[in-house]
Amino acid sequence: MSSICCGVEDHTLSSLLNLFFCYRYPSVFISSLAAQLVAFPLGVFLAKILPTQVFSTPLGSFTLNPGPFNIKEHTMITVMANLTAGGAFATEVLAVQHFHYGQRWGAGYQILIVMSTQLIGFSYAGFCRRWLVWPEAMIWPADLVQTALLSTLHHKQRAESGRMRREKFFLIAFIGNQFFGVTSGLGMGVLTFDWSQISFNGSLLVNPWFTDAQNLLSLVFFFFWFLTPILYYANYKYGAYLPMLNYHVFERFGERYAVKALLTPDGTFDATAYNGYSQQYLPIPFMLAYGLSFATVTAILVHVFLYFRHDIVRQIKSSLQERARYPRASRGSLQGGSQLVSRWYLAVFLVSVAMGFAATLAWPTHHPAWALFLALVIAAVYTLLIGVIQAITNQQVGLNVITRFNIGDMLPARTSRRHDDLQDLRLHYHGSGSHL
């Protein structure tokens, strides 16, 4: 009972607060690590106050307090917090529809969109666990941090000679961040290395060394510190008339692009209004970001084929055999009940797909059914490929750019729905990656 109460409290509050703060800049993000840390004293407190009385039912007996708060209960709470701490990208779609396009279709549509996209991603995660979870090479570096925190809180060990205890290190880092941090603290120190700003796109301590090194050398040094100034001062694609570091779309007079000026009353694209308004101009970093996103999608296919094709084929062959060849370390715990779990994932997938089609066809979205089916296919293909990369490097590649281009080309006049389609595609993969 304590794990259920703590889990519901953690994942509800973290998701609500993250959704509330995601629209401010710089946004505040409450990670699952924070929820995991808060759950420990709360679980210990509930274990002390909940009654130990045993209740009998026709289905069996149970108690609200089985004993001291242990690592298994804490792990369950952590899993629940991980499911919702990242939020749902579908909420961004709903916000765009509500504020930019005036499409206010009620709670039924919102629930179907959010639930279908999240549960489809969860189903994909279950289908791909043979390749993304069971192999020993899929280490998922971010999960190692949560595992270490669980061990620190539940396995009391004396500090080695000459080494600082983890609790003491955490206290020093916490006080330093809260008092001297500029973004998340009181800013008592002018010269500071604010970890909240450094880890805005992910903690550097979680990533493998080669991942951080490649990001620093290629993305920061080459693309932003070397290539961006060259293209900017060369006035490539009129980039010198725009801010050097900016990720907004501009019109010919240097103002923010007004998308509403190009829409008809029913939310479709107005070519006459576009010709009388302006074409779109992108700052140099925005151009590079889109170009790299297009290159990444094809690079994933080549990289996975060159380095992981044998592993994927081997796992596919083993799934067709009567007795799958699991890794030795996981054979005992994963073999039993795997078929039953797969059926649950399939049931969730079918229900969530039905919810997605209901939300698409029951409201005036101008969104054909084949486009949603295409979204499912693209997400299914790239879930495995991107999952392999993230499991090893802790770097997630988004599909929002390439899918936005594809759906915009296939449905050129339906601008208002185009953003919705593409965010759904991105979300289907992101849901599967986060739920793993």
119-160: pLDDT as tens digits: 888 888 888 888 888 887 788 888 888 888 888 888 766 656
The dihedral through the CA atoms of 112, 117, 120, 121 has a sign that is negative
Do residues 402 and 375 make contact, with C-beta atoms less than 8 angstroms apart? no
Q: What is the pLDDT of residues 324-354, one digit of tens each?
A: 444 544 444 555 556 667 788 888 889 988 9
Q: What is the pLDDT of residues 264-310, one digit of tens each?
A: 777 777 888 888 898 899 988 888 888 888 888 888 888 888 888 88
- The per-residue pLDDT for 250 is 92
**pLDDT higher at 429 or 225:** 225
- The per-residue pLDDT for 201 is 62
Alpha-carbon gap, residue 396 to 409, rounded angstroms:
25
Within a 10 A sphere around the Cβ of 373, how many other Cβ atoms? 13
pLDDT at 421 over 60: no
* pTM confidence score: 0.56
Q: What is the pLDDT of residues 165-182, one digit of tens each?
A: 777 887 887 777 766 665
Tell me, rounded to whole angstroms, the distance of Cα 411 from its chain centroid.
27
Do residues 252 and 258 make contact, with C-beta atoms less than 8 angstroms apart? no
Average the pLDDT over each of 35-44, 65-74, 174-183 and give the range with the smallest value.
174-183
Angle at 225 between CA 224 and CA 226, to 5 degrees: 100
5, 235, 275, 293 from 307: Cα distances, Å: 44, 40, 48, 21
Domain-by-domain residue ranges, the chain?
A: 1-56+63-87, 142-157+166-200
Average pLDDT, the chain: 77
Residue showing tokens 């799958």: 324
Pair of tokens at residue 175: 């006080």
Nearest CA-CA partner of 252 in 274, 278, 273? 278
Pair of tokens at residue 59: 């289905």
Average pLDDT of span 358-363? 85
Pair of tokens at residue 411: 């449905």
Nearest CA-CA partner of 183 in 201, 203, 198? 198
Within a 10 A sphere around the Cβ of 429, how many other Cβ atoms? 29
Helix (H, G, I), strand (E, B) or coil at 250: strand
Q: What is the helix (H) or strand (E) element at residue 54, kind and residue range? A: strand 54-57
Alpha-carbon gap, residue 31 to 78, rounded angstroms:
11
